[in-house]
Amino acid sequence: MGKIVALTGNDAAGTAMVQIKPDVVAAFPITPQTELMHKFADAVADGEVDTEFVLVESEHSAMSAAVGAAAAGARVMTATSANGFALMWEIVYIAASNRLPIVMTLVNRALSAPINIHCDHSDSMGGRDAGWIQIHSENSQEVYDNLIQGVKIAENKDVLLPVMVTSDGFILSHTLERMEILDEEDVHRFVGEYKPAHTLLDVDHPVTFGPLDLPDYYFEHKRQQVLAMEEARRVILEVGKEFEKLSGRGYGFLEEYQMEGAERAIVALGSTAGTVKQVVDALRERGERVGLIKLRVFRPFPKEELLEALREVKVVAIFDRSHSFGSFGGPLFTEVRSVLYGSDISVEVLNYIYGLGGRNISLEEIEGVFSDLQGVIERGGVKERINYLGVRE
């Protein structure tokens, strides 16, 4: 039996790590991730875990140490935020390309400049093409649950990809929340023992990791990564179901909230989904046909599930907490609109860029978006496709 506790997002992630007991953790502190590693470092110092905790001099080294340890056959975890993730960049790709199932919490924070420590998704979206599975969390419970599932997804022999679990900086990382943690033995049984097929330390079966790969084979290895992401779709669902048996909390690619008969919908990632739910409930009380699609998994992108969820919707607003400057809309918008094009679903798609640098999004603003969507239905056309929500003119 688990127990009900009050934890911040950082404590929730730290607790998950303590229960998973990774062989190696390498990390460098950065706000707002720092407390997460404090929590884990306490457990190391107190002898609760026998993890090899590597204190490095930069995030580039943190991910490098993680890659080395994972290639040596260890179960490896780390965590970072924003500029720390940016500094890891080179090695983030190498972790995925070498097929090393490292699990990392990314406590979302805006990338500099101007320097800012608060939440947006520019960091994780920057890493969207690196080959990592990317799982977003609405609250601390999901941060905890996603990390535990993340280990099992990453290490599946058909997947073998690193997993990034996000946690909205400060909004989740530093906010105390009621949640349930599982018994440590249950977590252990769930994630099981990691037995990689090939490791650097298996001297009886010597292998080479990370060799030169020229035009004659590089493309083939990239094609394998595509397959791994496709396999991950099945594994994410299997692990989600198995986790439901253990915890009572089931997970898929997305959550449809009040989508029954919804004509207007919002698609959002992370903690904002919780705020949208409150607005949806209030509007439903008034008889308005509105709903929310909370996207949990961004990589691999859940094309089929999203199309199914949008089948009856007339107009949908895509919430992007990051921007791709010069592109036609934010990264979530372009992705959603791309899967809709050529499908048999006819739905107007609007984009709302919001919350950059930790700018709060209010209930009234979300209600205003639903009003905009109503306007599109009544007018039968879109005035502004790409909108900036909450920026001062």
Partner 1 sequence: MSGLKGWREIPIGGLILDAGNAEQYKTGSWRTYRPVWDEGKCIHCLFCWIYCPDSAIIVEEGKMKGIDLEHCKGCGICAEECPPKEKAIEMVLEGEGKGV
Inter-axis angle of helices 303-310 and 331-340, to 10 degrees?
A: 80
User: What is the C-alpha radius of gyration for the chain, rounded to an integer number of angstroms?
Assistant: 21
Count how many Cα atoms sit within 13 Å of the Cα of residue 47 in the half-sphere of its side chain.
0
Minimum CB distance to partner 1 smaller for 205 or for 392: 205
Asked if the peptide bond before residue 114 counts as cis, ω within 30 degrees of 0, the response is yes
- Number of other residues whose CB lies within 10 A of the CB of residue 275: 19
CB of 210 to partner 1, least distance (A): 6
Minimum CB distance to partner 1 smaller for 207 or for 363: 207
CB of 163 to partner 1, least distance (A): 16
Inter-axis angle of helices 218-247 and 184-191, to 10 degrees?
A: 140
CB of 390 to partner 1, least distance (A): 43
CA 53 vs CA 45, 81, 99, 195: distances in Å: 10, 19, 22, 20
Q: Which amino acid is at 130?
A: A
CB of 77 to partner 1, least distance (A): 19
Instruction: Please give the residue ranges that form the binding site for partner 1 (CB under 8 A).
Output: 97-100, 160, 198, 205-211, 213, 216-217, 219-221, 223-224, 227-228
Residue 302 CA to residue 314 CA, distance in Å, equals 20
Minimum CB distance to partner 1 smaller for 83 or for 98: 98
Minimum CB distance to partner 1 smaller for 84 or for 162: 162
Q: Which amino acid is at 191?
A: V
Q: What are phi and psi of 313, to 5 degrees?
A: -80, 140
Minimum CB distance to partner 1 smaller for 3 or for 223: 223
CB of 209 to partner 1, least distance (A): 6
Q: Parallel, antiparallel, or unpaired: how do β-strands 76-80 and 52-55 relate?
A: unpaired
Question: Residues 154, 155, 158, 160: what is their CA dihedral angle, to the nearest 10 degrees?
Answer: 60
- Number of other residues whose CB lies within 10 A of the CB of residue 33: 30
CB of 98 to partner 1, least distance (A): 5
CB of 223 to partner 1, least distance (A): 4
The answer to whether 138 touches 293, Cβ cutoff 8 Å, is no
Minimum CB distance to partner 1 smaller for 17 or for 95: 95
Minimum CB distance to partner 1 smaller for 10 or for 97: 97
What is the DSSP code (8-state) at residue 197? S
CB of 103 to partner 1, least distance (A): 17
Minimum CB distance to partner 1 smaller for 39 or for 99: 99
